[in-house]
Structure 1
Amino acid sequence: MTQWKQIQQLENRLLEHVDYLYDDNFPMDIRQGLSSWIESQDWEIAANDESMAAVLFTNLLSQLDRVRLQEQNFLQRHNMKIIQQQLQVKYATNPAVMARVISTCLREERRILSSACMQEQGPLEKSLQNSVAFERQKNMDNRVGLIRASVQLMDQAVKYIEDIQDDFDFRYKTLQSRDPRPNSETMKQEVTRLQEMLNRLDFKRKEILSKMDVVIKDIDDLMTSQLNPELQDWKRRQQIAAIGGPLLTGLDQLQSWFTLTAQSLFQIKRQLDKLVELVVKVTYESDPIPLQRPQMEERIKYLIYHLIKSSFVVEKQPCMPTHPQKPLIIKTGVQFTTKVRLLVKLPEVDYQLKVKTTFDKDLPPGRVRQFFILTNNTKVMDIEDYSNGCLSVEFRHLQLKEKKYINGTKGNEGLLSVTEELHYLSFEACFTVQGLTIDLETCSLPLVVISNVSQLPGGWASVMWYNLLTDEPRNLAFFGNPPRATWSQLSEVLSWQFSTFAGQGLNREQLTMLGEKLLGQHASCSEYQVSWSKFSKENIPGKPFGFWMWLDSILELIKKHLLPVWNENFIMGFVSKEMERCLLKDRRPGTFLLRFSESHLGGITFTWVEHNDNGEVKFNSVEPYTKNRLSALPFADIIRDYKVISDGVVPENPLKFLYPDIPKDEAFGRLYNSQPSKVHPYIASTLIPISELRSHASTTPLSCQSPEPPMTPGEFNMLNEHLCFDIDTVTQPHFTELLFWK
């Protein structure tokens, strides 16, 4: 079943989240019409490969053409033609953006499907999807709209004051030009009329200044109580999205609020400037404008200053294109990308903002390793034609190099490990508009810099721990005394890793098993505190590796070799050997289950149950399969072709039923790789995994590498006509597995 068909079977609550993913950037009509084709492409790689993205973009248009021509409904054909034209306009010059959009949608779909498999959402995800947030945004929309309407009305009020003043000025100058006759009744009436006009002008000036004061206070309160908290909420959600949490949305909405608020502030500033012009023409004793305007103007400048400074944000945190799902880890000598954005859209500043990026700005030397940016670190912000016209700049080819000191040292005198050192990237620009000059600065979330890919798992553990437990934007000393995480927090993030990297998160039973492995008897307590050291640094008792290293190796194994089997929920996963036996002991002979190895990094094994003639239950486990062996043979094919040689019996497959009682071929049939060889006239060959079951009474050492099976010479000759040895021999407590070419 395609991912899209699974999506369509979700309950309405989750379908609403799916609906939120699709807009003009990637219409749902395309997702529906090309579902199978879309899911068969590698959009993640294309998002960071311009040439591949261009090929996929061309292919997508061709696929749309094919579907459109097959469509019988005229209206649907017309709509698809419009969509096709819109995509060409939007992405023709930047197809990688389209690839990123589609990749994000597919990844978020997987996360939604994963959450549907869990009985309830975790605390972090609940907090991010609270319905109160939607009400809060509605309230924000209404309030920003009311402020804009009030400012527009003040524009009309200023125009009305200008008209009154022009009329007064004309009458006053006309009166001055006449030959004055003090006793003239007409003169008295005109003077009285002018006085009334002046009184009205004074009233209107005071009224407009009072309205301005109210609106300025409203904007100040809006920024303090709503706009800034919304920005901080977005930044917190960006942290959570970086470590695999829900899709980050809302930046366009924030930009709308920031832009409308800035427009209101600049419009009030222009209104104040207009009032100054009016004062130059007409003023009088106790004129309110000269008295109140300077203070108001300072308040307006202060609000503009803080609004613009806070609108300069990192839209895309630093990330290596080779590891798009693990941002905030940078390897020296490898290019990485990052993107900053100004949330205020003002035509006056288009193409004028030059952004400079600096690594570890103002960081004192000696505490951590020192790095510098090799490539060009300055670019001009540009308008994104393919989005909503925001002003942004993307640095795509940044690269770090470590500083070497005269004595040959590298400058790391601290007690922290390389993957616990935190660094940051800062961005600076100078903003000038309408007589105001504002220095802008923002910075990335803390980064981990590695020099070897083997440090990647440890670096990612640090990134997860930091962004899970703090919303501080730049606490570089975090790992000097790292806080603890509750198991409920940590388990949710671990499930996100599986939904992000393996397409499907962990269910409650799997998380319970993981909890038992990490916490032992405390696993049932969701609020139990887990230390950073226990999670990432300490070895599992009796093992040469730690908990996170073990789990990360499993993620890599699933991603590269076990995805189809994992996504079908065939792998029980983290069950212990003891629990495995409890589950299998009462099952039919040949029932087996799949679990990850507890003794090998990145290994998967299967155990099956057998019953002796006397009713005794036996459990047999094959030595774990690791990436090296799975690279040669797909795991589903191993399940299908696996054979055991025991006591001179011709090899047979002992695997009959996937736990609890699913016939093996019924479960794995659609995953088998049954493509015949197309090379002629050669005889087709098949790699078959075979284990030699050795009797416990045998005196042959377990490390024996002899491929000779325990059978009669006649049986061996018969078998040898069909099978060829000398491929691989692996020993273990109960089995020696032999790989045969058939």
Structure 2
Amino acid sequence: MALWIQAQQLQGDALHQMQSLYGQHFPIEVRHYLAQWLEAQPWDAIDLENQQDEFKAKRLLDGLIQELQRKAEHQMGEDGFLLKIKLGHYATQLKSSYDPCPLELVRCVKHILYTEQRLVQEASNASSPGSGPVDGTPQRYQQINQTFEELRVMTHDTENDLRKLQHSQEYFIIQYQESLRIQAQLSSLASIPPAERVQRESGLQSRKSTLEAWLTREANTLQKYRQELAEKHQRTLALLRKQQTVIVDDELIQWKRRQQLTGNGGPSEGGLDILQAWCEKLADMIWQNRQQIRRVEHLTQQLPIPGPTEELLTELNATVTDIISALVTSTFIIEKQPPQVLKTQTKFSATVRLLVGGKLNVHMNPPQVKATIVSEQQAKALLKNENTRNESSGEILNNNCVMEYHQTTGTLSAHFRTMMNTS
């Protein structure tokens, strides 16, 4: 079944998310009337980071415009006349928007198609839990990778919006300084002859009124830009948290279960390098959004405008801090488990690894890791975040180790080579 047909059957929040993909940048009518053509084009064959692919993107843009014009020409009747005008308008609008940067059209359409595919897949899995992809299959990995692509596009979109906001705010400040200069000139007119003062005052007052009206409108526009950007960051962080749940609470937990089976004679668990790659992508996306939110904060402090944005930014900061904290905590794992039965006076080894250590530059100031023996009761308390830091159920020799960063593999780990249980 065509993707667009399935997307139109979405309900509730999923339908709202799908509808929010569209706007002046890409009208939903274009998606509807060119659904078959859009889904048949090789969007994935274009590398958005390669400027040499701009020619391919230009051909797709030209093809889209031609399809819209062709669709408009074939409309008949009274309703067809109105649709003909609307589709013709969209053709002109899209050409004007994307002709200078056709790669942005590709980015936009890829984001739309990836998001629709994810929403349809999630709706399908929710309605038929038993028909979803089997854990560990390429189809499951493909869904994770598609979500990463969607996050990358969303993060790029907010970066562009942030730059536009910054440029608009810088121009606003320049104009505000101009209004202060005019006010200073008006204040200095008292020292000149009355006849000349009246003439100059009239011109300055006119300029002042025009500029103040513009500043009022632009202040409202800036506040609107800030609000829209904050809402976009909210959606990005929500999807980041969802992706993190899939990777950390599903994929990583499954890896740990396979590791337990390996300790009982099962097959090798494998897949840790893929998990690290995903966790590093998560860390990278989270960090980029965190930096963007910080920059928006700086802009609001530089030019305070009353409104709900400050409260939203506080919430965003708390959310992104919570996400990155959970990621670091969850991705500190025991890569190589010690023997399940620790005999006294017998050497054993173990390896711990931080899957996001390289991305977060933890290796620049490598932490020290200490291994201790805890009871089952203490382990359960640790899982509940209860404080058992100073408690132990046994003594281990050589149980301190500094984590090392391995450049060739990009891993940050600590290898306890010669530990010994003395209790």
TM range (shorter): 0.5 to 0.7
Q: 2-side partners of 1:397 and 1:236: how far apart? A: 26
Identity of aligned residues (%): 25
* 1:220–1:331 distance in 2 versus 1, CA, 3 Å: same
Q: Which residue of 1 aligns with 2:176?
A: 172
Q: 1-side partners of 2:272 and 2:262: how far apart? A: 13
Alpha-carbon offset, residue 295 of structure 1 = 1.5
User: Over residues 599-626 of structure 1, what are the superposed CA-to-partner deviations in whole Å (9 max), with x where a residue is unaligned?
Assistant: xxxxxxxxxxxxxxxxxxxxxxxxxxxx
Alpha-carbon offset, residue 189 of structure 1 = 2.6
User: Over residues 43-80 of structure 1, what are the superposed CA-to-partner deviations in whole Å (9 max), with x where a residue is unaligned?
Assistant: xxxxxxxxxxxxxxxxxxxxxxxxxxxxxxxxxxxxxx
Q: Which residue of 2 aligns with 1:334?
A: 346
Residue type matched to 1:338 in 2?
Answer: A
Secondary structure of 1:359's match? Answer: coil
Contact residue 354 and residue 378 of structure 1 kept, 8 A: yes
User: Over residues 110-156 of structure 1, what are the superposed CA-to-partner deviations in whole Å (9 max), with x where a residue is unaligned?
Assistant: xxxxxxxxxxxxxxxxxxx9576321111111112321331232222
What are the equivalent positions in structure 2 for 1:417-496 lying under 5 Å apart?
A: none
Q: 2-side partners of 1:192 and 1:182: how far apart? A: 17
Q: Which residue of 1 aligns with 2:62?
A: none
User: Over residues 604-662 of structure 1, what are the superposed CA-to-partner deviations in whole Å (9 max), with x where a residue is unaligned?
Assistant: xxxxxxxxxxxxxxxxxxxxxxxxxxxxxxxxxxxxxxxxxxxxxxxxxxxxxxxxxxx
Query: TM-score, normalized by length of structure 1?
Result: 0.33
Q: 2-side partners of 1:337 and 1:155: how far apart? A: 46
Q: 2-side partners of 1:227 and 1:400: how far apart? A: 31
Is 1:190 matched with 2:211? Answer: yes
Secondary structure of 2:291's match? Answer: helix
Residue type matched to 2:150 in 1?
Answer: L
Secondary structure of 2:305's match? Answer: coil
Residue type matched to 1:197 in 2?
Answer: E
Q: 1-side partners of 2:402 and 2:373: how far apart? A: 18
Q: Which residue of 1 aligns with 2:262?
A: 241
What are the equivalent positions in structure 2 for 1:656-671 lying under 5 Å apart?
A: none
Alpha-carbon offset, residue 197 of structure 1 = 2.4
Contact residue 134 and residue 140 of structure 2 kept, 8 A: no
Match of 1:306 among 316, 326, 338: 326
Q: 1-side partners of 2:312 and 2:393: how far apart? A: 52
Secondary structure of 1:393's match? Answer: strand
Residue type matched to 2:373 in 1?
Answer: F
What are the equivalent positions in structure 2 for 1:708-719 lying under 5 Å apart?
A: none
Alpha-carbon offset, residue 352 of structure 1 = 2.2
Q: Which residue of 1 aligns with 2:129?
A: none
Secondary structure of 1:157's match? Answer: helix
What are the equivalent positions in structure 2 for 1:258-337 lying under 5 Å apart?
A: 258-286=279-307, 288-319=308-339, 328-337=340-349
Q: 2-side partners of 1:147 and 1:362: how far apart? A: 40
Match of 1:148 among 131, 152, 160: 152
- The alignment yields a C-alpha RMSD, in angstroms, of 2.4
Alpha-carbon offset, residue 158 of structure 1 = 1.4
User: Over residues 264-295 of structure 1, what are the superposed CA-to-partner deviations in whole Å (9 max), with x where a residue is unaligned?
Assistant: 22222222221221112211222x32121111
Residue type matched to 2:402 in 1?
Answer: V
Alpha-carbon offset, residue 229 of structure 1 = 0.7
Q: Which runs of 5+ in 1 are unaligned?
A: 1-128, 320-327, 403-742
Match of 2:361 among 332, 339, 348: 348
Residue type matched to 2:353 in 1?
Answer: R
Tell me: higher relative CO, structure 1 or 2? Use CA pairs within 8 A at least 6 residues apart: 2
Alpha-carbon offset, residue 395 of structure 1 = 0.3
Residue type matched to 1:160 in 2?
Answer: K
Contact residue 331 and residue 400 of structure 1 kept, 8 A: yes
Match of 2:138 among 120, 134, 149: 134
Residue type matched to 1:346 in 2?
Answer: K
Q: Which residue of 1 aligns with 2:35?
A: none
Contact residue 283 and residue 360 of structure 2 kept, 8 A: no
Secondary structure of 1:331's match? Answer: coil
Is 1:382 matched with 2:404? Answer: yes
User: Over residues 481-503 of structure 1, what are the superposed CA-to-partner deviations in whole Å (9 max), with x where a residue is unaligned?
Assistant: xxxxxxxxxxxxxxxxxxxxxxx
Is 1:229 matched with 2:250? Answer: yes
Contact residue 275 and residue 289 of structure 1 kept, 8 A: no
Q: 2-side partners of 1:308 and 1:131: how far apart? A: 24
What are the equivalent positions in structure 2 for 1:46-57 lying under 5 Å apart?
A: none
Contact residue 332 and residue 353 of structure 2 kept, 8 A: yes
Residue type matched to 1:348 in 2?
Answer: N
Q: 2-side partners of 1:278 and 1:164: how far apart? A: 11
Q: 2-side partners of 1:302 and 1:131: how far apart? A: 27
Residue type matched to 1:332 in 2?
Answer: T
Alpha-carbon offset, residue 347 of structure 1 = 4.6
What are the equivalent positions in structure 2 for 1:354-393 lying under 5 Å apart?
A: 354-360=368-374, 371-373=394-396, 375-387=397-409, 389-393=410-414
Q: Which residue of 2 aligns with 1:159?
A: 163
Q: 2-side partners of 1:370 and 1:305: how far apart? A: 28
Contact residue 398 and residue 420 of structure 2 kept, 8 A: no
Alpha-carbon offset, residue 258 of structure 1 = 1.3
Q: 2-side partners of 1:155 and 1:265: how far apart? A: 13
Alpha-carbon offset, residue 213 of structure 1 = 0.6
Contact residue 368 and residue 400 of structure 2 kept, 8 A: yes
More helix by share: 2
Match of 1:205 among 226, 237, 247: 226
Aligned positions, number = 259
Contact residue 148 and residue 260 of structure 1 kept, 8 A: no
What are the equivalent positions in structure 2 for 1:558-569 lying under 5 Å apart?
A: none
Alpha-carbon offset, residue 334 of structure 1 = 1.9
Q: 1-side partners of 2:153 and 2:416: how far apart? A: 38
User: Over residues 410-450 of structure 1, what are the superposed CA-to-partner deviations in whole Å (9 max), with x where a residue is unaligned?
Assistant: xxxxxxxxxxxxxxxxxxxxxxxxxxxxxxxxxxxxxxxxx
Secondary structure of 1:309's match? Answer: helix
User: Over residues 563-616 of structure 1, what are the superposed CA-to-partner deviations in whole Å (9 max), with x where a residue is unaligned?
Assistant: xxxxxxxxxxxxxxxxxxxxxxxxxxxxxxxxxxxxxxxxxxxxxxxxxxxxxx
More strand by share: 1
Secondary structure of 2:337's match? Answer: strand
Alpha-carbon offset, residue 212 of structure 1 = 0.4
Residue type matched to 2:351 in 1?
Answer: K
